[in-house]
Structure 1
Amino acid sequence: MKNNEITLLGAGLIGSLMAIYLRKQGLEVSVYDKRPDKRKTPYAEGGRSINMALSHRGWKSLEEVGLKDKVLPLAIPMYGRKIHDEHGRTSFAPYGKKDQAIYSISRGKFNQLLAEEAERLGANFYFEHKSLHTDFKTQEITFETPSGEKKLQAPVIIGADGAYSSLRMAMQKQIRFNYKQEYISHGYKELTIPATAEGDFAMDPNALHIWPRGKFMLIALPNPDKSFTCTLFLPFEGTKVCFDKINDESDLVSVFTSYFEDAYQLMPDLIQEYFTNPTSALINVECYPWVQGQSLLIGDASHAMVPFYGQGMNCGFEDCHILNGLIHKYGTSSWDMVFEKFQKIRKDDTDAICQLAMENFVEMRDSVADPKFLLRKKIEARLHELYPNDWVPLYTMVTFSDIPYAEAYAQGKLQEAIMDKVMANPLITENWDKLDYEEIINRMDSAKAV
């Protein structure tokens, strides 16, 4: 069996980018996906796809493979959160410094660009190939295709086949495989705010719009066609406002006019979209090991996370970058060693970002509406401005740097404990700009030294 022949499962964003990296290393790459080729059956943008938020880790990988300039026209910078209260008033909370942004990009066109670049470089794509079984002793995969079952020798397998990975399912049947999945109580539904009659954006296009309502929320991300992709996050059941209790047009209109009135006025297709588009679940997946012989899980296949830190795709792209570096360093004569090193480097970091994504859900739906939360962010921004090397906000570490996620998480917990004490001051709202910022930094230094 040839060690330079790679079988990639999954033609999504992560699988397509990994194919590009591997082809640039001169390896033979075949990509198999259970879905039809979206170029022949045009990609339905509506329905399930939460817009992606591309940030530093993602851009770094795209730049490394020479695609940054091709992707930029598909992306719109968002410099912060535009928070909508229940009376239609808005406030703006920047993500970082003045020029720092995350970028809204819709999955379909982005995926197509990556797949076509991989094909241009010589990767072979096979659609409507559903992986049924993987034999790790013989490195043989059985696929279901439109013309029947097909067996394939696959000396090296990389599974980038998502949260419901078939390669991971095969690994679960092996001994001593740890696996944990958790569905959160909320689901999501995709909706749209179209361009205005004049063909303009209906709201500020350079912000992520959010309507935080305690136990639920609506968000909106801009698209190049001047529309916004909206995502409604509600509990499935058990609360006053939940998917279970929206059964007809009047229920839906009542929820939107009560909680999202300003958005409702901009959504002419709300009723049709709500009752046509699916309600989808949100899952967190942790598993280990990611390696079985010469087979490896990457991206959502090994660490699916809820979307509330905007890092799922960025983390998957960073997987590709790190794996590519290890292949470059150690070569292709010992894939099991390369894969083993990859999982050891990566596991703590992916655990950390999965945890952060779960924690950020509470922040987005609830805390961002709290004036004290906004003040806290303002104090942290001032600390970062005055002491850029000593105090870097957690969001900045995660989103605008490539500091390992686990390191960012640990640092963030120290900062959180210190900020809790700062915010406990009963006069903080009046006196925040008179704080002794140097003393806060000294506390941080002392905490790090412990």
Structure 2
Amino acid sequence: MSGTSALAAPRQDAAPRRASWALSPYALPLNALRILAKCALPLILWFSAGRLVRWALLLLAATISHGSWYQARLVVVMFLFTLVVMTSLATTVGMLYVVREALLETQARRAGGEAKESLLNALNRTALVFAGIYTTWGFVKDDVRAFMNMDLLRAPTQLFDDAVKGEHSGVMAGLISLDPKVSLVTMAVAYLAKLYFGRRHEAGNGRFSGIMATFAELAFAFYGLNALAAAVGARSDWIGGRAAVAAWHDFAAKAEASVPGWQEFWGWVGEIWPYVIDALAVPLAWLTVGILVYGAYAEDTQTTIRGTRLEQAAVHLERTHDWTRRALAKLSAGWTARWIPLLNSLRLTARGGAPLFGLFALCYVGLHIGGDYLGRAGDYLLASDTPYFWLVTVEPVGYVKDLVVTAVTMCLVAATFDLAATRSRLEGRAPLTGETSEPDRPSPSS
């Protein structure tokens, strides 16, 4: 009997060891693949639907951008392009939303009595910060490039034919040819809409207020591109001759001549900085979106510094004059919109263990490098001697590559959040996110 008892003990400890390994940061790739296996079909459907709507909007915008009433057409083109970005938002949120039931943290919330949140509520909460991340970190460049390629391939010879005739074809120029005066008018309309829906969203009124505020925010930015480009072009010489700018260039030239290694150091920084952004900041941006989808999230500075030494400094700042606070808010608005959500995500992810974010960033970079090789392999396999046959194969190859990379990326984001949130909950710390169920609306009588 003693021998039997000795053999039974390891079997009883096997389950805790398996559970401990499942929550290890190093199990992140396996957890991501587990989520992908459970939710492959809805991920494919969401991505395919979003890709189809995006393609249709880009084709419609490229078609409308040519013809009579040119400026009026370009207003519509910019409107459709804003819808393209909103489609990317809806697709990303939808893909993250459909995998949430496969997460351990979601199962624990359900066991605790938390109600299931609607997709609309998650979309409304995520929209504004997603728009800031999408435009600030340059993801919108892919949509601009897609529009230009669509416009070029719609009539491949028009650009050359019009150049031979000495005419302006307008090919690939639908997003930059809007008249500055028209841009200012449409900017004003978009700003008023942004102000109205933004205040409703801050007050918690209107189920679509966040989405509408995001649409107005994007429209305000896109319509303002032409007016801003015209203003910068008209004043570039004036700015270049100002004393402060001239003094800065003079200081940089003197430092380069007198400080040993100055040029080499900044040249090295300039070379590695894009890789730092792609390997660390961009994964954090997508992780921020995931945290937004899976729970209530405060992207402001107070949330990020809470529990740190900077919190006391913020208390002293609140005691300063109102004009001082406003000036500091204006001066730091660009920095906070760009970095505060990412810093908050890094802080929350760190609760799951220091290796978690490192492995997440490593998997993210490896996945996108593998996606590039996958696309190249598809091009090689479908290569043909038939002229222009690549026009037939480029879309299917791009679709498969983007489907694999996007689906696995969303599962990787979900798995990272799941591990961080579950480890934080089991260790007895405050949850990463608050309640995500649909909030109760006050009755009209109240």
TM-score (norm 2): 0.23
Greater relative contact order (Cα 8 A, min sep 6): structure 1 or 2?
A: 2
TM-score (norm 1): 0.23
Rg: which structure is higher?
2
Where is the strand percentage greater, Structure 1 or Structure 2? 1
Where is the helix percentage greater, Structure 1 or Structure 2? 2
